[in-house]
A = this chain, B = another copy of it.
Amino acid sequence: MSASGVRARVRAEMTDEIKAVARRHLATDGANLSLRAVARDMGMASSAVYRYFASRDELLTAMIIDAYNSLGEAAEQAAQGAAGKATGKEAGKEAAEQNGKTELDRFLAATHAVREWALADPHQWALIYGSPVPGYQAPQDTIGPATRVILLIADIVKSAYDSGRIAERPPITGQFAEELRVVADNYAAGTPPRAVAAALSAFLHLSGAVSSELFGQLNKSVEEDRRGFFEFQMRGAAFLIGLTDNL
């Protein structure tokens, strides 16, 4: 039918369904999902899947991108919600009036959102922040979505700098000060290099905390109040980058 329509649409639907089934398999089988298994699951030959994804790696790449975006969106929404701009539901209560949430609040909201996203689907977290599969080389398409959450943190830090709600921290010393300036100008011109370093540092702390909890590094240690321990960690990170004065 309609000129450039049917074929393309069913194709898009197919790729989406494949990804959906694959995501379901991912939740049980982890990163070594079987292309044949997902093909079986949707009643088609394994070879037919190759019409939509050139290889298993390409399927994984697509899911990685989706995961990055999903995570980034979750973090952004949480940070936005904490900033006072409640999205829809609780709009009338005390949202728009009180916009005085600090950057610390936004940071904590975002990091908690990241953690909860990871807890809700550990395999998806492992897919993007776990050890990469051996032969796999992350293509260019992934680096965009990958930086979303780290850019969010950078934005929060930058906001703190702009509004002056940032604690004094010693300047960067060492040879990577200049390097940081390049990165800063690359991503968001005007962001002080110190803010970039802070964002990187905080993100690193965040990923370590989530991964350790998920992958069972701190096995029996913290069992009961993992959320509390995580918050403790993130407050430490926030202090280090100057988002708060009191540790």
Q: A216-B138, A217-B207, A240-B239 are in contact. Are A224 and B176 (CB under 8 A)?
A: yes
* Complex Cα gap A197–B204 (Å): 18
| Contact between A220 and B183, CB atoms less than 8 A apart | yes
A5 contacts chain B at the CB level, 8 A cutoff: no
A232 near B: Cβ within 8 Å?
A: yes
A143 to B138, CA, bound (A): 32
Task: Known contacts A176-B228, A209-B208; decide if A201 and B236 are in contact (CB<8 Å).
Answer: yes
Contact among B174, B220, B236 for A240, CB-based, below 8 A: B236
Q: Name A200's contact: one of B130, B134, B222 (CB within 8 Å).
A: B222
A169 at the binding interface (Cβ < 8 Å): yes
- Across the interface, do B236 and A247 meet the contact criterion of CB distance under 8 Å? no
In the bound complex, CA of A215 to CA of B211 (Å):
13
Given the complex, which residues of B lie within 8 Å of A201, measured CB to CB? 232-233, 236
Cβ contacts under 8 Å, A60 to chain B: none
Least CB distance from A100 to B in Å reads: 24
A218 at the interface (CB under 8 A from B): yes
> Which chain A residues (184-240) contact chain B, with CB distance < 8 Å?
186, 196-197, 200-201, 203-209, 211-212, 215-225, 228-229, 231-233, 236, 239-240
Residue of B nearest to A242 (CB): B247
Q: Which of these, B30, B208, B219, contacts A208 with CB under 8 Å?
A: B208
CB of A29 within 8 Å of the partner chain: yes
Partner of A129, one of B138, B215, B218: B215
Chain B residues within an 8 Å CB radius of A221: 183, 196, 200
Contacts of A219 in B (CB 8 A): 143, 146
- CA gap between A203 and B186 in the complex, in Å: 31
Q: Do A175 and B206 form a contact, CB below 8 Å, given A29-B134, A131-B215?
A: no
Q: Knowing A207-B217, A240-B247 are in contact, say whether A175-B224 is a contact too (CB < 8 A).
A: yes
* Chain A positions near chain B (C-beta within 8 angstroms): 28-32, 123, 126-127, 129-135, 138, 143, 146, 169-170, 172, 174-176, 179-180, 183, 186, 196-197, 200-201, 203-209, 211-212, 215-225, 228-229, 231-233, 236, 239-240, 246-247
